[in-house]
Structure 1
Amino acid sequence: MPPRNKAAKNNIQDGALPQQQDCYEGERLIHVLKSIRRGIESARALAGNSLPEKVWLKQQFAIGVNDVTRVLERMAAIIDEGSTAQSPFVRLQAILLAADCNPKWLTKHLPTLAKSRKVPLIIVKDDKKGSLRLGELVKLKTAVAIGVKARGSAINQIMEEILDGDEPNQRALLQVQ
């Protein structure tokens, strides 16, 4: 059996999240969440009111640790940069993960799983209110993890800007409409 990296083992046992993910807090977090909220409202307005809001939200997002894990597991693992195998299942554009999850072991598998599928992970830190903030986005009391499904909507365009490091702006919403 090959020797293991003791620091990495302790990191996983402690439930600490790896440092490679993007972490949002403070004013930056407020700005990003408002942008996503505007994207949700814009995409909902474009879709019309044919579906109940909760059903429509489930089409746009994987909500909760179990749902995010299920979608990630159905996505094909990306072994090398050259493979472009298309999966018949839904792909996630990004995952929003609350840093205040307790116990930490509930979400310790998500960073590794997301990395293997090349899905960016955004950590939401807000003085133990990250799960409340994520819950507000999807009309729930709390949400520890939310996966943004790649559907080509205003939400996806705003997430793309966030992932590229650009500040989401109103022009993105107008271009989609």
Structure 2
Amino acid sequence: MTARNKAAKNNILDGSVPQQQDCYEGERLVHVLKSIQRGVESARALAENSLPEKVWLKQQFAIGVNDVTRVLERMAPTVENGSSAQSPCVRLQAILLAADCNPKWLIKHLPTLALSRKVPLMIVRDDKKGSLRLGELVKLKTAIAIGVKARGNAINQIIQELLDGDEVNQGALLEVQ
């Protein structure tokens, strides 16, 4: 077990949200959320269907703790070599999780479940407004957890750049279009 996994496990056991380098706050959070919002707008513009926006958003994201949990549970756990026994219908690329969830036990299971499925967590911390900021992404008042579904679009490209530690820039969106 790596040091990062041990730290995540200890945080899970005491009920706290992991505090790792994948915690976004301040200017970094603003930059990340604006980048993801541009990705959503770009992917929506490229979509050739006439679905209502709320339906289209549900195709791109698992919204809310229950929906994220449901999708994670349907994904097969990955074995040590990184492959899964079966390929799921829907796979999450990453989970955006608001650190201001109260009570904490509502999201206590998500880090363990995400770790077993090899889905990275991106913690959003914004002085008791993280859930409001996540809600803005999916046109809701608040959202404690948002799972980004792997669909191969501009949203996924931006999330992958964030996970790789690269700076998201405007050129990435231009390449997709």
Q: Percent identity?
A: 85
After superposing the two structures, state which structure 1 stretch, 14-23 or 152-161, moved more: 14-23
1:11-43 deviations in whole A, cap 9, x for unaligned? 546420234461000000000000000000000
CA distance 1:9–1:139, shift in 2 (3 Å): closer
Confirm whether residue 155 of structure 1 aligns to residue 155 of structure 2: yes
Deviating 4+ runs (over 3 angstroms): 7-14
- Aligned twin of 1:140: 140
Query: Given the two structures, how large is their TM-score scaled by the length of structure 2?
Result: 0.90
| Conservation of the 8 A alpha-carbon contact between 2:114 and 2:120 | yes
For 1:158, what is the secondary structure of its paired residue? helix
When the two chains are superposed, the root-mean-square deviation of aligned CA atoms in Å is 1.9
1:80 positional shift = 1.2
Confirm whether residue 34 of structure 1 aligns to residue 34 of structure 2: yes
CA distance 1:63–1:21, shift in 2 (3 Å): farther
CA distance 1:9–1:36, shift in 2 (3 Å): closer
- Aligned twin of 1:59: 59
Query: Given the two structures, how large is their TM-score scaled by the length of structure 1?
Result: 0.90
Inter-partner Cα distance in structure 2 for 1:121 and 1:172:
22
From the CA coordinates, give the structure whose radius of gyration is larger.
1
Inter-partner Cα distance in structure 2 for 1:55 and 1:176:
22
| Residue pairs, 1:160-175, within 5 angstroms | 160-175=160-175
- Aligned twin of 1:72: 72
| Conservation of the 8 A alpha-carbon contact between 2:77 and 2:84 | no
- Aligned twin of 1:15: 15
- Aligned twin of 2:4: none
Q: Name the amino acid aligned to 1:81.
A: N
Inter-partner Cα distance in structure 2 for 1:53 and 1:19:
33
Inter-partner Cα distance in structure 1 for 2:105 and 2:56:
30
| Conservation of the 8 A alpha-carbon contact between 1:21 and 1:121 | no
Unaligned 5+ segments in structure 2 are 1-6
Unaligned 5+ segments in structure 1 are 1-6
